[in-house]
């Protein structure tokens, strides 16, 4: 009998696709820019290789700095502050 896979997204692909039509990435999604201090929402679009973990999906944070083509996001979860480095593809302006 074969052993089950223990990959990063095991059992999560249906959760990611639920209530959402599959979309293709547009050029405007790849060249988004944010200012320091902007409120952003963490999403999972396009390439899943560089996407943040599923636990951060839908969370809102503030842009702290730009690091290469990605952004450093600070968000509050439970009793602590988390710092994420997220590519612009996986971010959307809040509000």
Q: What is the pLDDT of residues 2-12, one digit of tens each?
A: 888 787 777 77
pTM: 0.77
Report domain extents, the chain. Answer: 31-93
pLDDT recorded at residue 20: 59
Confidence of residue 24 (pLDDT cuts 50, 70, 90): confident
Res. 27 pLDDT band, cuts 50 70 90: confident
* pLDDT beyond 60 at 22: no
CB 59, CB 82: distance < 8 Å: no
Per the CB < 8 A criterion, the answer to whether 91 and 41 are in contact is yes
Task: Select from 3.40.50.300, 2.60.40.180, 2.30.30.70, 1.10.287.110 the CATH code of 31-93.
Answer: 2.30.30.70
Average pLDDT value over all residues in the chain: 85
């Amino acid at each position: 009998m074969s052993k089950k896979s223990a990959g990063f997204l095991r059992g999560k692909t249906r959760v990611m696709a639920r209530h959402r039509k599959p979309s293709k990435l547009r050029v405007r999604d790849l060249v988004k820019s944010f200012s320091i201090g902007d409120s952003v929402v963490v999403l999972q679009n396009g390439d899943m290789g560089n996407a943040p973990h599923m636990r951060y999906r839908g969370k809102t944070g503030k842009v702290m700095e730009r690091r290469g083509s990605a952004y450093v996001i600070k968000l509050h979860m439970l009793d602590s502050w988390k710092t994420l480095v997220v590519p612009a593809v996986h971010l959307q302006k809040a509000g």
